[in-house]
Amino acid sequence: MSVFSLETIRRRLLHGLIPAVPVPFNARAEISLEAQERYAGFMARERVAGVAVWAHTGRGLRLTRTQRLEVLQTWTRALGADEVVVAGVGGSPEAAADFPCYAASAVEMARDAIAHGAHALLVHPPRIFHRAKGGDELILEFHNRLADLGAPLILFYLYEAAGGILYSSGLLRRLLALPNVLGIKLATLDSVMTFQDVAGLVRREFPGKLVITGEDRFFGYSLMCGAEAALVGMGATCATLQKKMIESFFRGRSAEFLELSRQVDRLSQSLFRAPMEGYIRRILWALAHQGVIERESANDPWGPELAESEFAELGKIVKELGTRSAA
């Protein structure tokens, strides 16, 4: 069980950046262990509020159990005592045809996460049941089984094209009322209205729950819409820039916030573009440009191939933003 209480985790994540970290792979689709260690050490020095492993950015549902534990243990060793480790958990795609097996595989993944140092669980949406007969009840039962483990849960409202579910307000209320729910991550991509509506619902009816932005493409505006923390894939690179933007917003430094938000938007538009699933490789490329990992370790076995011109273009943007951030 987590060494932190739900309230302690809430305080540590509030107004903080939680990068959803990718996994560096070599060209043979093997985890580059040296790059992984170096990356975790680098991020530990960034003093972020925590990290999220096994999320979509970290290909959590595609990794083998051995790979997942290897990744989690690297991060728990690297981070200090104050940083929270969030683990994404979900049902195995191989068990998708059978609800009991699917739910059991998610519980097994969650138990692994808790036993090996994760402090909270980010629940991958159980999309396979959202159009099934009695889908709402199945989704609620799925989350209930994870809540029964006792660890703090972060709900995940993910846009449908990425494998998410458009939750009804009624189902959201039932999920937010579950014991151990810490808050909800919103990653709607281009639906500002959905973000506004869900964030408003949480603020009005569940004021103790965290609204966590996952909106890389409208990061700054999502803070203005009520987000109180950020769990974003983009945070896995150029974290200092994003930390400064968050800090400037919550400290009321409006001119600084606007300028930093423009810079963060430029980064997001270079990472999150068609083909959208290429964002994971682009984040790894950005880390290579920062000198954190080698180019040879900046591979995503499940992502699309990208043009070499993108690598060079991204390097110019990372260099420019790094110069501005240092200034």
Q: What is the pLDDT of residues 280-311, one digit of tens each?
A: 999 999 999 999 999 999 999 999 999 999 99
Residue 17 pairs in a beta bridge with: 230
32 or 47: whose pLDDT is higher?
Answer: 32
User: What pLDDT score was predicted for residue 230?
Assistant: 98
Q: Give yes or no for residue 215 having a pLDDT over 50.
A: yes
In this structure, what CATH number is given to the domain that contains residue 209?
A: 3.20.20.70
User: What pLDDT score was predicted for residue 80?
Assistant: 79
Total structural domains within the chain: 1
- What is the per-residue pLDDT across 257-272, written as a single tens digit (0 to 9) for each? 999 999 999 999 999 9
Q: Give yes or no for residue 81 having a pLDDT over 90.
A: no
User: What pLDDT score was predicted for residue 131?
Assistant: 66
Closest CA to 14 of 259, 240, 231, 268: 231
- What is the per-residue pLDDT across 154-210, written as a single tens digit (0 to 9) for each? 999 998 877 788 899 999 999 999 989 999 999 998 899 999 999 999 999 999 999
Contact 186, 195 (CB under 8 A): yes
**Does residue 290 lie within any of the structural domains?**
no
User: What pLDDT score was predicted for residue 300?
Assistant: 98
Any residues with CB less than 8 A from the CB of 241 and at least 6 apart, and which? 260, 263, 264, 267, 321, 324, 325
Q: Give yes or no for residue 97 having a pLDDT over 80.
A: no
**Does residue 55 lie within any of the structural domains?**
yes
User: What pLDDT score was predicted for residue 98?
Assistant: 83
Contact 293, 287 (CB under 8 A): yes
Q: Give yes or no for residue 327 having a pLDDT over 50.
A: no
User: What pLDDT score was predicted for residue 210?
Assistant: 98
User: What pLDDT score was predicted for residue 148?
Assistant: 96
User: What pLDDT score was predicted for residue 96?
Assistant: 74
**Does residue 16 lie within any of the structural domains?**
yes
pTM: 0.95
Instruction: List the single range of 97-101, 227-231, 242-246 with lowest mean pLDDT.
Output: 97-101
**Does residue 264 lie within any of the structural domains?**
no
User: What pLDDT score was predicted for residue 178?
Assistant: 94
**Does residue 265 lie within any of the structural domains?**
no
User: What pLDDT score was predicted for residue 99?
Assistant: 84
**Does residue 304 lie within any of the structural domains?**
no
30: containing domain: 6-243
The separation between CA 178 and the C-alpha centre of its own chain, rounded to angstroms, equals 21
Contact 124, 103 (CB under 8 A): no
Q: Give yes or no for residue 323 having a pLDDT over 70.
A: no
**Does residue 116 lie within any of the structural domains?**
yes
